[in-house]
Amino acid sequence: MTASFDAEVAAWLRQRALDPTAADTSVEGARIHARAVNARSRAPLADPPVPAAERDLVLATTEGPVPARVFEPPTRLTDATIMFFHGGGWVAGDLRTHLQHMRLLAVETGSTVLGVDYRLAPEHPCPAAFDDCLAATVHVAGRSAGRLAVAGDSAGGQLAASVALACRDRSIPLAAQLLIVPVTDVAGGYADPEVNARYPSRAERADGYGLTLAAMRWFAGLYDPPGGGGHWRVSPLRAPDLSGVAPAAVHTAGFDPLRDEGNSYAAALRAAGVPVLHREWPTLNHGFFGLGGVSAAAGRAARRAAADLRGLLTTGQDDDDDDTAAANRAVIH
């Protein structure tokens, strides 16, 4: 029996479409709309996650300065730093649109979260976002005494997966990767019928559930103007070898045009011998991770994703020694 689309999310999407910011379809309009609707999605949270501290900083990486924001957990459960890469099609998201995502991860995992404010397209096309995320990760890896993980949603999930591949190639150890509704195959720019046919969800969920296939074509065209998308820096599913990357938790959604490429990436990782925990949420849509205040089911799924990452980060750690965990907190500058 086919699952029904979450009624609370459906009602939210109808209201979102009425937001005055939805009318401007320019790049700047898309950015303003993303900030507005993400702020609205946080407003109904009954018990919003509250980190112990938040601060902005600029990472002085070897590739240049990269702005970031650090979120410290109220209760430290791991010695880890989670590098978080926001979604938004490489174009419309930023640290403001993903405050809820990062705060939730910090509180639920008991880890430091560092959100990377990478450069956006079309002003900075591929591989600028990847370069910034990798540079930030390499920088923190050289300064943190604890474990290191990468995480992201949508385009940020793609960046996390691609950075995990780059870290493997550079012998930078990662404890985990959390990929939430990830982009994994941009080849053909979401306009090639042959590529699209590999992923039935692109047709089945092309419109009506938040993210649309048309929007993905627009995003891909702005980020990767030549429309190739075949390199693993933008399409991790196209990497020639996935073996040896960090253990992964992959969360996909039934009513998401990206569902099948996310599922395919989880399967490809598993086939390459990578430990994978894959969950598909059949009633939810692409943006579920930030909709905990909108939908009870989305809230449960988001907390489960954070718990999966926490599990990967606490494997082999002595959780009884809270003093040791506190002493091992990351030093980031």
Q: Show which residues are catalytic.
A: 154, 256, 286
**CA pseudo-torsion sign 162, 306, 254, 46:** negative
Q: Which two tokens stand for residue 127?
A: 């591989």
**CB atoms near residue 275 (< 10 Å):** 14
What is the C-alpha to C-alpha distance for residues 242 and 166, in angstroms, rounded to an integer? 11
Any idea what DSSP says for residue 84? E
Query: Which residue in this structure is represented by tokens 């949420």?
Result: 281
Q: Please, which residues have CB within 8 angstroms of residue 290's CB and are 6 or more apart in sequence?
A: 38, 41, 42, 98, 100, 101, 153, 302
What is the C-alpha to C-alpha distance for residues 236 and 134, in angstroms, rounded to an integer? 14
Q: Which two tokens stand for residue 126?
A: 């591929």
**CB atoms near residue 96 (< 10 Å):** 14
Q: Which ranges of the chain does DSSP label H, i.e. alpha helix? A: 7-17, 27-42, 99-109, 128-141, 155-169, 193-197, 201-204, 213-223, 259-271, 296-314, 322-327
What is the C-alpha to C-alpha distance for residues 225 and 227, in angstroms, rounded to an integer? 5
What is the C-alpha to C-alpha distance for residues 115 and 134, in angstroms, rounded to an integer? 13
CB hemisphere CA count around 262 (13 angstroms): 35
